[in-house]
Structure 1
Amino acid sequence: MVNYNELKFEEAINELDNIIEKLENGDITIDSALDEFKKGIDLYKHCYKKIEETEGKIRLILEDSDKNIKETDFENVE
């Protein structure tokens, strides 16, 4: 299994697009298709992890009743 930790989200999405194109084209062997499918699953997991990490880092700037600005974790906003 390849380590995708250094791969940027956008790069991983582009790789996924390329894999989808190859699989839809159908000009590859069944073994190659299976390898590409496995790679696609790994890339999907990497992208999902990146989204979760980013969501946890998002800060929303809110103004309270005294017109003070405060930062709140994205997860704590209701």
Structure 2
Amino acid sequence: MTEIENMSFEEAMKELEATVSRLEHGEATLEEAIKLYERGAALRAHCDKRLREAEERVEKITLAANGQPTGTVPAEGL
């Protein structure tokens, strides 16, 4: 298994969806289900972190009167 902190958002989300599916369909023993749940919780936390990081980088493009981009404003300044 890939270390969660090295996963992209998309990789973690794909594994999280597969984990949820396995848990929903009862495809695991009790011990496996507990491990799946723990990994799923870690994957969810990782996805949340990646989303927060992306939101922090979002910038608003400022436009001049003629509609041409003039720069950016950090999302915190919105």
TM-score normalised by structure 1 residue count: 0.85
Once residues 5 and 54 of structure 2 are traced to their aligned partners in structure 1, the CA distance between those partners, rounded to angstroms, is 14
1:69 CA drift (Å): 1.6
Once residues 39 and 24 of structure 1 are traced to their aligned partners in structure 2, the CA distance between those partners, rounded to angstroms, is 15
Number of positions where the alignment pairs a residue of Structure 1 with one of Structure 2: 76
* Identical-pair percentage: 26
1:70 CA drift (Å): 2.4
SS at match of 1:70: strand
Once residues 47 and 64 of structure 1 are traced to their aligned partners in structure 2, the CA distance between those partners, rounded to angstroms, is 36
1:43 CA drift (Å): 0.3
In structure 2, stretches of 5+ residues that fail to align are: none
Once residues 34 and 59 of structure 1 are traced to their aligned partners in structure 2, the CA distance between those partners, rounded to angstroms, is 40
Matched, 1:61 2:74: no
Once residues 17 and 66 of structure 1 are traced to their aligned partners in structure 2, the CA distance between those partners, rounded to angstroms, is 46
- Structure 2 match to 1:75: 76
SS at match of 1:37: helix
Instruction: Summarize deviations over 1:17-52 as a string: whole Å, max 9, x none.
Output: 100110011021111101000000000010001011
Letter in 1 for 2:23: L
Q: Which runs of 4+ in 1 moved over 3 A?
A: 64-68
SS at match of 2:6: coil
CA RMSD of aligned residues (A): 1.9
Pair 1:12–1:75, CA change in 2 (3 A):
same
